[in-house]
Amino acid sequence: MSAEALRLEAVSKSFGGLPAVRGVSLSIADGERRLLLGPNGAGKTTLFNLVTGDLPPDTGSIRLFGREISRMAAHRRVHLGLARTYQVITLFPRKTLAQNLELALLGLSPLRWNPVALPSRRPELRERALAVLERVGLRAAADRRLADTSYGEQRRVEIAMALSQEPRVLLLDEPFAGLSQEERREIQRQLAAIPRQVTVVMIEHDLDVALSFAERITVLHQGQIIVEGSRAEVVADARVQEVYLGA
Amino acid sequence: MIRALPVALSSLLLLAPALSPSDFYVNVATQILIAAIFALSLNLLVGYGGLISLGHAAYLGVSAYLTIWLVTRAGVGHLPAAAAAVVLTTAMSVLFGVLALRATGLGFLMITLALGQILWGLAYRWVSVTGGDNGLSGFDRPRPFGIDLASPRAFYLTTAAVFACAFVLMAVLVRSTFGAGLQGVRDQPRRMQALGWHVWMVRLVAFVAAGFWGAVAGVLYAYYNQFVSPHVLALTSSAEALLMVIAGGAGTLLGPVVGAVVVVMLKNVVSAYVTRWVLLLGLVFVAIVAFMPEGLVPGFDRLRRRRRRRTAGDA
Amino acid sequence: MRFWVIQSLNGLALGGLLFLLSSGFSLIFGLMRVANLSHGAYFMLGAYVGLSVLNAGYGFWTAVAAGAVAIGILGGVIERVLLRRLAGRTFSQVLVTLGIAFIIADSSLLLWSGDPMPLPVPRSLTGAVPVLGVFFPKYRLAVVGISIVTAAALWALLERTRLGAMIRAGVDDMEMARALGIPVPRLFTAVFCLGAALAGMGGVLGGPILSVYPGLDMDMLPLALIVLILGGPGSLAGAFAGSFFIGFLYTFGQALFPQLAYVILFLPMVAALVLRPKGLFGARAA
């Protein structure tokens, strides 16, 4: 296995003079489970947006499996095996769950440029959508409109959308946000079932669920990395106690 | 097949005007179908792409000008002239699309408007080519395969055939995998990008498809009127098409067709009594936009659903 | 040489008129995110109002004031009655202004007939003065002067008054402006009135140069659009520079290639669109 899935070198981004990410360098190994920790405004989501291409970095280099992607169009990075979920749900409320999944599947298929291919005549597309919904336990709800599902179910669809793309690197932005205890356990089970070869980077505030998942933890504060290490190292670190846990 | 019935019914409906004894009604029906193709093409952008264009007359107008200019001034045959008009106009829509899609939302609206107005000004002032205010005339309908297109009925049937093709192809497009993506881009562009869709290119393809069908409508317009003047490129012309889309219901297939029926009928009826069409167009525009923004077809659908629910509740 | 001097001065005069038209257009767009497509119609209607006032026997400057006041009030009423009920629905607002443009255009045709009518030059400004060796109409120089004075007054209004500070805050960040307790609805009405009044005034002042005719509205609107695209929304300096640039370009275009003057206008717009990396409205395009 190649050593590195994602490598950031001296990546910076400011908004109108206010620095959001300051010279972040990060190396995440292939197949690793990494947690990004930090108080609100630490620059975690901005860092995700820089990696996905939602935002261009001001300076620095981002490599995905050794390939420089910091200037590459966002949709092309997806084709290299990068997928993400959003903190705020941005799905297609008027479409059914299956149709939501089909849009995700089409995003990587040449079929997306076909102006005469009717989805209804492509049973394999629906099969694949149903198979992914099965993985997150929503197959039975496949034909419900997204707007008619619960928030917890929408969170699972959000993850299913990313999983359906069979990514090599998956970025999860607060997958547990706003969920009940029971729903959290459900998501936890699904994340545990993600194949080992997929690299997962997660932003999460809920330490109980996140710590059980991640092997290594990076703590950001005011746009900079302050600590990086194993669970035990990070939890024991005085600076982390101070800026994050202690506060 | 369940589909056979609606297809048969709509074919009948489409053929019916040809049976009318009055040339006037046959001609009104022809105008409606040309307007409907034009409105459907704009609907690809407005309804399915979420991109409001105020310069769509550019494609109808340039294609009409090209058709007549090529035949009457350059001596090109009818079929190659029509084909060239569609090809060249579609090529222009690629260029305009690249420019207009530097922005979305209001910026897009304003760039399309500015581009459309420039063509309008050009049609007025480039007298040596466009004939200026007088436009281009001296254009006759041909007799392909012994069919005399000068006859209103023959011309209507030709238009109806083109309309049927256009409707079916656009219906397939918006329901296709590409069409699903186009609507996804309309609703959640950032999410679509994160799913691997090339958002800008999806929009450009829709823009060019709209330009292509606008050009087809332009060829029919040229043959129907046998004359073209800067009026066809005016903002009122773009606005009429937009009114058809919005009044009928943007993002529905039948909406623009219903809108075309309403607007063309209104225009013909009103101009028989008063000459104040533009005033009325303005009033209708304000009324529809301010008081019925959803349009006729979605409004009617909702009414029907509500009634059905009520009957279901009673039973 | 003579040709260049005269056309340059003509370009300046047209630029001045364009500034009166597009400064309001740009402020309204920058503040309210409304592309007021009736702005060309306001300009034309202002000219017609001025014409009627002149025909009633009043003086030229009374006509200018009447044009500005009448169109300013009309703008205020339209903002209050129509645009406000559509608050938050940007596209509906823009399309309503388009409908109003048609209503004004056709009503004007009905009221003032279809013939082009020049407004007479005020008596105090008839004749010509020598400029760089050519005789140039006094009136056109006066128009340039008036537009520069107006620009200075607008600048002072924006930079030196409380109202101006509120407008600038609104253009920069509407959410912040609301949070600061700025009375946004009243501000909208004020700016819309001001923009409309400037367009009405420009129409009367333009009357002796451009005449007033059906279609003047649609001749002017794209010029205002292009100025906005070049100058950026809500920027007074951008509107000023853009107006004079387009004034020159259009004047020389018409003099040198009368049939293609409109296409020449197209070139700076294309250049602006292609060269700005983020497209024309930058990050705020959304």
Residue of A nearest to B204 (CA): A113
Residue with tokens 């219901």: B249
Position B307 pLDDT exceeds 70: no
Segment among B39-43, B291-295, C38-42 with least mean pLDDT: B291-295
- Interchain contact, B125 vs C258, CB within 8 Å: yes
Position B2 pLDDT exceeds 60: no
Query: What type of residue is C145?
Result: G
Residue of A nearest to B171 (CA): A116
Q: Are B65 and B225 in contact (CB under 8 A)?
A: no
- Interchain contact, C96 vs B290, CB within 8 Å: yes
**Average confidence (pLDDT) over A43-68:** 93
Spell out which residues of chain C touch residue B281, defining contact as CB-CB under 8 Å: 99, 102
* B-interface mutation test, from A116, A126, A158, most B Cβ less than 10 A away: A116
Q: What is the pLDDT of residue C279?
A: 41
Q: What is the pLDDT of residue B310?
A: 62
- For residue A184, what are its two tokens? 């959290």
- Mean pLDDT of all residues belonging to chain B: 89
Position A5 pLDDT exceeds 80: yes
Dihedral of CA atoms B140, B142, B146, B149 in degrees, nearest 10, equals: -70
Residue with tokens 């179910």: A153
Whether A111 and chain B come into contact, CB under 8 Å, resolves to yes
Q: Are A137 and A113 in contact (CB under 8 A)?
A: no
Instruction: Give A170→chain B minimum CA distance, Å.
Output: 12
Whether A107 and chain B come into contact, CB under 8 Å, resolves to yes
Q: How many residues does chain B have?
A: 315
Position C244 pLDDT exceeds 90: yes
Residue of A nearest to B198 (CA): A75
Position C284 pLDDT exceeds 50: no
Q: What is the pLDDT of residue B312?
A: 55
CA A34, CA C65: separation in Å to the nearest integer? 70
Whether A48 and chain B come into contact, CB under 8 Å, resolves to no
Residue of C nearest to B231 (CA): C215
Whether A83 and chain B come into contact, CB under 8 Å, resolves to yes
**Average confidence (pLDDT) over C190-212:** 94
- Interchain contact, A75 vs B199, CB within 8 Å: yes
**Average confidence (pLDDT) over C228-237:** 86
Q: What is the pLDDT of residue A34?
A: 93
CA C177, CA C173: separation in Å to the nearest integer? 6
Instruction: Give B81→chain C minimum CA distance, Å.
Output: 25
Residue B251's region, left for phi above 0, alpha for psi from -120 to 50, else beta, is: left
Segment among A186-195, B1-10, B56-65, B70-79 with least mean pLDDT: B1-10
Q: What is the pLDDT of residue C199?
A: 96
Instruction: Give C26→chain B minimum CA distance, Å.
Output: 12
**Average confidence (pLDDT) over C237-242:** 91
**Average confidence (pLDDT) over B231-255:** 92
Give the model confidence (pLDDT) of C127-185 as tens digits.
888 877 788 889 999 999 999 999 999 999 988 998 888 888 888 888 888 888 888 88
CA B167, CA B182: separation in Å to the nearest integer? 18
Query: B24 burial class (0-12, 13-18, 19+ CB within 10 angstroms)?
Result: exposed
CB pairs under 8 A between A and B: 89
- Interchain contact, A114 vs B176, CB within 8 Å: yes
Whether B246 and chain C come into contact, CB under 8 Å, resolves to yes
- Interchain contact, A107 vs B195, CB within 8 Å: yes
- Interchain contact, B52 vs C273, CB within 8 Å: no
Q: Are C86 and C92 in contact (CB under 8 A)?
A: yes
**Average confidence (pLDDT) over A218-222:** 90
Q: What is the pLDDT of residue C283?
A: 36
Give the model confidence (pLDDT) of B171-224 as tens digits.
999 999 999 999 999 999 999 999 999 999 999 999 999 999 999 999 999 999
Spell out which residues of chain A touch residue B177, defining contact as CB-CB under 8 Å: 106, 109, 111-112, 114, 117-119, 122, 125
**Residue A240: HSE in the Cβ half-sphere, 13 Å Cα cutoff:** 20
Segment among A197-206, B63-72, B91-100 with least mean pLDDT: A197-206
**Average confidence (pLDDT) over A43-54:** 93
Give the model confidence (pLDDT) of B137-175 as tens digits.
888 888 888 788 888 999 999 999 999 999 999 999 999
What's the pTM value of the predicted model, to 2 decimals? 0.90
Whether A122 and chain B come into contact, CB under 8 Å, resolves to yes
CA C211, CA A186: separation in Å to the nearest integer? 75
Position A107 pLDDT exceeds 50: yes
Spell out which residues of chain C touch residue B274, defining contact as CB-CB under 8 Å: none
Neighbours of A221 (CB within 10 A): 19
- Interchain contact, C222 vs B113, CB within 8 Å: yes
Residue of B nearest to C279 (CA): B102
- Mean pLDDT of all residues belonging to chain A: 89
Q: What is the pLDDT of residue B315?
A: 40
* B-interface mutation test, from A113, A122, A124, A159, most B Cβ less than 10 A away: A113
